[in-house]
Amino acid sequence: MAKKAHEFTLTIYAVVATFPKEETYNLTSQIKRSSSSIGTNIAEVCGRFTQKDFANFLQIALGSSLELEYQLLLAKDLKFIQEEKYLELEKEVGEIKAMLISLIKKVRI
């Protein structure tokens, strides 16, 4: 899951590099932070020893993926991302969300 999140973040960075320059400190920055936060929190999970801590960091990663979903929708509606690319990114973030939700459920049992 960490590798998938990392590869997805690299894809996101490439996509936002095409955004208008005036968005550098706005939507571009928010999208970069959200995408990198997913992988960062998954990595941080590795250093946690309690199930509660483990679940909390996974929950933060899930929250970041939900933020990213909205930010990508906004970018599409602002015409910064074409529909086809948006659908591809939406599918990828959906897969990451599903993996996070599955793992959170297993940890919280």
Report the C-alpha gap between 95 and 107 in whole angstroms: 19
Domain boundaries, the chain: 2-108
Tokens 């483990």 — which residue? 54
Q: What is the pLDDT of residues 13-58, one digit of tens each?
A: 999 999 999 998 899 999 999 999 999 998 887 776 788 888 889 9
The CATH superfamily holding the domain 2-108 is: 23S rRNA-intervening sequence (1.20.1440.60)
Q: What is the pLDDT of residues 61-78, one digit of tens each?
A: 999 999 999 999 999 999
Cα 27 from chain centroid (whole Å):
14
- Enter the pTM of the model: 0.90
